[in-house]
Structure 1
Amino acid sequence: MSSSRRCLLFSLIAIAFTLPTWAQPTQQHIKHVLVIGETKGFEHDSVSSAMAAIYNMGKQSGLWDATLRTDTELLTKKKLGNNAKNLDYFDAIVFASTTGEILTDPAQRADMLSAIHDEGKGFVGIHAALDTNYTWPEYGEMIGGWFDQHPWMTFDAPIINEAPDSPIVRQFPKTFTKHDEIYQPKAWSRDNVNVLLSLDPTKLEYNNPRVHRADHDFAVAWTKMYGKGHVFYSTLGHTVEAWDDPQIRTMYFEAIKWSLGLTEASTTTHARPAQ
């Protein structure tokens, strides 16, 4: 790893966040989470904030240790030297606003999908994880779709909590507003995912050439199964300020717990709420 990347990772670990105390009543076997923050497209300022938050959540809860990387070298089953871990070591993978074609090696692609689909390792996609790997159809199938513009840019997004009983989003009220950038997904259908949060279609402006979904169905967070693997994605987390929001941090904390198999949450699809 280059000295600049080592410095970045040390800086991330040193960042202090005012996070809730994720106290656990008993000591549990610690899990291992691989956090990837590589970007080959748009570079979000919030990547460092997201990676540091996930690292600190694991340390404070005692539930996982996080390995933070700005490359994809460890996404392999191949034995690596220099004390590097591979996918056999990790229990879940987090893509923290990755962008562009970050994984092009066919063997690595197959190893990552096998780890999730066949071995049941978790996957959590944060924001621009949907703006990643467009030349890899199986990636889109795994995560649930791809980015297709953000019609309203960063705005006060009116959000509906479609799953108030889910441990991942029960901290949110039934309806609420978050100042964030909401992605419009393509190659996506709620028939293939369990929508947790969505935009309120009655409160959106549609006189916008970037609005491409005729059904006006804009999911904000969802869960799904990919074979044996638990997959979560949310578009929330575009801004640095989002990572100071305890509700959003709790959502990602609970999503990672669920992806690791530490909690139960539904992946059953459901109809769109009546408006």
Structure 2
Amino acid sequence: MPKVRIGSVSAICVFMAVIFCLVASALSFGQGALPPVPRTKQGHVKRVLVIGQTKGFEHDSISAAMVAVYNMGQESGLWDATLRTDTELLTKKHLDRNAKSLNDFDLIVFTSTTGELDMDADQKLDMLSFVHDDGKGFVGIHAALDTNYNWPEYGEMIGGWFDQHPWMTFNAPIINEAPDFPAVSHFPKAFVKYDEIYQPKAWSRDKVNVLLSLDPGRLDYNNNPRVHRTDHDFAVAWSKMYGKGRVFYSTLGHTEEAWQDPDIRKMYFEAIKWALGMTDGSTSSHPRPATSATP
């Protein structure tokens, strides 16, 4: 059985989700199916710290997202993931009890974290330094934008903050603005995904590389008090630099079902590879597309 590192009592849901996946695989094997063959890990395996702490709305998809990141690393042989629902490891200080610190990781993933996370001033400085100065990576999933409103530097690092979801969960019409970027190259020019798309505030496309966005010509704005952006520019995914470090964010992944979607899983798999420096992709901003697309 693979060793899964999960912190805090509240993380039992994540642990049980992993056990369920393992049991399902065992049952499938018992029925005559071939067991999965793990890939041989090549060279230095990257280490990924996955944080799922919530101090606000509890997303049902958190366990599925954390397990997906863990499994993608195991199946590809590219990284080992440590899963935590607390923030203890977000520090460069030495920790006892065989606990790791940021010095032991190459990438941080926030999986639908919400609210003001349990981080003191030193932890915040250490996390910023991890990305900005050390050139390590950061990947934000969905509600990672609904986090740390009282920490201005966090908003600068990730690119902004959550400011409502005007259409809740709906069939979102999406435009692929950067088909050359590895995390979205598998998407067509225009497509639809059933998900909850965030409206960002303190955000500007001239500070990020917009990868995916909502098609403004196919949205319903009538009597919608949640629409705050007068420019109707709703990014769905972007890449950027924060100092020396690579940052990727996408609002996709709100539902549990999203993590069974091969397109979403591939997007985050490639995003993690990119943030780890395994592939290349632009972080330069570009103008908004002149016209909307139709799938």
Residue 254, structure 1, aligned to residue 259, structure 2: no
Residue 216, structure 1, aligned to residue 203, structure 2: no
Aligned residues of 1:49 and 1:240 also touching (Cα < 8 A): yes
Task: Name the SS of the counterpart of 1:191 in structure 2.
Answer: helix
Equivalent residue for 2:3? none
Alignment of 1:65-104 (within 5 A): 65-104=80-119
How far the C-alpha of 1:29 sits from its partner, in A, is: 1.5
Equivalent residue for 1:231? 247
- Of 1-10 and 221-230, deviating more is 1-10
How far the C-alpha of 1:25 sits from its partner, in A, is: 9.0
Pairing partner for 1:11 from 13, 16, 20? 16
Unpaired stretches in structure 2, ≥5 consecutive residues? 1-5, 25-35
Residue 133, structure 1, aligned to residue 178, structure 2: no
* Bigger CA radius of gyration: 2
Equivalent residue for 1:156? 171
Q: Distance in 2 between matches of 1:23 and 1:263?
A: 22
How far the C-alpha of 1:2 sits from its partner, in A, is: 7.6
Structure 1 residues 119, 210: CA separation in 2 closer, same or farther (over 3 Å shift)?
Answer: same
Equivalent residue for 1:264? 280
Structure 1 residues 197, 143: CA separation in 2 closer, same or farther (over 3 Å shift)?
Answer: same
How far the C-alpha of 1:6 sits from its partner, in A, is: 5.8
Structure 1 residues 206, 11: CA separation in 2 closer, same or farther (over 3 Å shift)?
Answer: same
Q: Distance in 1 between matches of 2:130 and 2:144?
A: 18
Aligned residues of 1:41 and 1:99 also touching (Cα < 8 A): yes
How far the C-alpha of 1:27 sits from its partner, in A, is: 1.8
Aligned residues of 2:108 and 2:139 also touching (Cα < 8 A): yes
Residue 109, structure 1, aligned to residue 114, structure 2: no
Unpaired stretches in structure 1, ≥5 consecutive residues? none
Cα RMSD after superposing both structures: 1.9
Deviations 1:37-61, CA, capped at 9 Å, x for gaps: 0000000000000000000000000
Q: Distance in 1 between matches of 2:37 and 2:173?
A: 28
How far the C-alpha of 1:220 sits from its partner, in A, is: 0.1
How far the C-alpha of 1:161 sits from its partner, in A, is: 0.2
Deviations 1:66-86, CA, capped at 9 Å, x for gaps: 000000000001100001000
Aligned residues of 2:7 and 2:85 also touching (Cα < 8 A): no
Aligned residues of 2:51 and 2:113 also touching (Cα < 8 A): yes
Deviations 1:106-128, CA, capped at 9 Å, x for gaps: 00000000010000110000000
Q: Runs of 4+ in structure 1 displaced over 4 angstroms? A: 21-26
TM-score by length of 2: 0.89
Give the total of aligned pairs: 273
Aligned residues of 1:146 and 1:187 also touching (Cα < 8 A): yes
Q: Distance in 1 between matches of 2:218 and 2:171?
A: 11
